[in-house]
Chain A
């Protein structure tokens, strides 16, 4: 028997149901696959964000990225700016160092490399420009020619002693002047040797002439001239009994020797210059006292010396001193206080008369017999630098005395008058 119709119908229905279920399943499968894919994508994005920001749990991936990058950018800018500033500072520093070195060199050489700034340097320059150059430079300077003229007159000339007599011409740097010297600023003979244009007209009363800035000053005959050169030992150039004695050490001795060798009269040289090479300490020649009666009052007692030549200690002290801020023993002024105190135009509010005397004796010895004139006092003249400079202008070397609120008393000696500008 064949199955009933009802069975066919239900069979068909069952088939339909199955087909429907298959469809449904297939649809669901697709959905699952899609969802899984999108989940996978999300997961990747999240992973990337995590890696990018290196934060374990960013609050929101998009916001975290923009904040961090912004900060990083800002910091980079700051770093670049700091580096640029540092480079600029380094450059400024090297420029300033170069400028400072140039100024130091310039100060050492003077305005044109010819005129030195101080006594020892004048001596070094003397050595280098010995002979004709030295003479020529001094001649030009005395006539005011050339760039170095003013520097010579202001600095080198007052420190140079030029001794001319018996055809001896030499220049040495003078720091202190002792017995027997009446003047020590230089004149220069135009033709070295006999028959110089600067020789005295027919007068032979003195064996040597000391010439100051072109004017002749005659000095009585007796005695020798001792020049003490800072940094060297004593150089004695003298005329007692017709001999010239040189005893010296230090760098200028060769220069002076050469000058003397060139210009000494015959017969004098060997014996006395030989002594120089031993660089004896102190004078070889006994120094008789010289009565200074010079014709030019402005020189006059200016150059009366201290009563004694320098001690070995003082001369030796003039050697090179190296090392920073090393203090050297000062002179014992109390032993020299036997001298009268200097004449003063006012009573000082800073130093006692005894100390003023000590101060004057510490100055170049050409002032040792000077009086002291007070040009300025803040109590009376006010506290303006302008007024001060006006009052001291062109008055020459100056002592500056200061008392401060701690009660200390100190100051300086300036070898040139204070000016308005350097």
Chain B
């Protein structure tokens, strides 16, 4: 993240995951106010240590981790990091990589286009 880039969005943000048949929602904890950040190369939400969710510029890979903003755990088990690839300051077990199969984006609207 570029130093000086600021987050936007409000405390209405949340992250979620599906566990079994149920939706598990993680709302804002007020620990910090890092909400949405983005650039040409990534999207991310949550902060103050690790992002709750981070997606790369191809929307193909991402990371997720314990996040203080939402009190959320890694949202997916993802794929295991290979131990030889990490440098010593990245070798934290709770940052999870994942590979995307599909990403969808939906907005609430009063009326749908025909």
Contacts and interface: CB of A to CB of B under 8 A. Distances in A.
Interface of A: 99, 103-104, 106-108, 117-121, 154-155, 158-159, 230-231, 297-298, 300-302, 320-322, 324-328, 330-331, 333-334, 343-345, 348-351, 355-356, 358-360, 362-364, 367, 370-379, 383-386, 388-389, 391-392, 395-406, 408-416, 418-422
B11 A118 contact: yes
B72 A159 contact: no
Contact of A120 (B7, B11, B79, B108): B11
A406 B10 contact: no
Given A321-B29, A324-B68, A388 B15 contact: no
Nearest to A404: B98
Contacts of B25: 330-331, 362
B35 A414 contact: yes
Interface of B: 3-18, 21-43, 45-46, 48, 52-53, 55-60, 62, 64, 66-68, 71-73, 75-79, 98-113
Contacts of A355: 18, 21, 23
B100 A404 contact: yes
Contacts of B11: 117-121, 230, 415
28 contacts: A107-B7, A117-B10, A158-B10, A321-B29, A326-B29, A330-B23, A345-B112, A349-B102, A371-B109, A371-B111, A372-B107, A373-B106, A373-B109, A375-B106, A376-B104, A379-B102, A385-B41, A385-B42, A388-B105, A391-B105, A397-B12, A404-B62, A405-B100, A410-B64, A410-B76, A413-B13, A421-B39, A422-B36
Contact of B32 (A104, A298, A377): A104
A321 B55 CA distance: 27
Name the residue in A376, A386, A395, A414 with the highest tally of chain B Cβ atoms < 10 Å from its Cβ: A414
B9 A415 contact: yes
B45 to A, nearest CB: 5
Given A404-B99, A412-B53, A421 B32 contact: no
B11 to A, nearest CB: 3
Contacts of A320: 30
Contacts of B112: 343, 345, 371, 373
A399 B78 CA distance: 20
A333 B23 contact: yes
Given A118-B28, A120-B30, A385-B40, A413 B14 contact: yes
Nearest to B12: A415
A126 to B, nearest CB: 14
Contacts of A107: 6-7, 32-34
Nearest to B75: A410
Contacts of B9: 414-416
Given A348-B104, A370-B110, A389-B38, A422 B30 contact: no
Given A118-B33, A359-B16, A410-B17, 15 more contacts: A108-B33, A117-B35, A118-B10, A119-B10, A297-B110, A330-B25, A362-B16, A367-B108, A372-B108, A373-B113, A399-B108, A404-B78, A413-B13, A413-B15, A416-B35
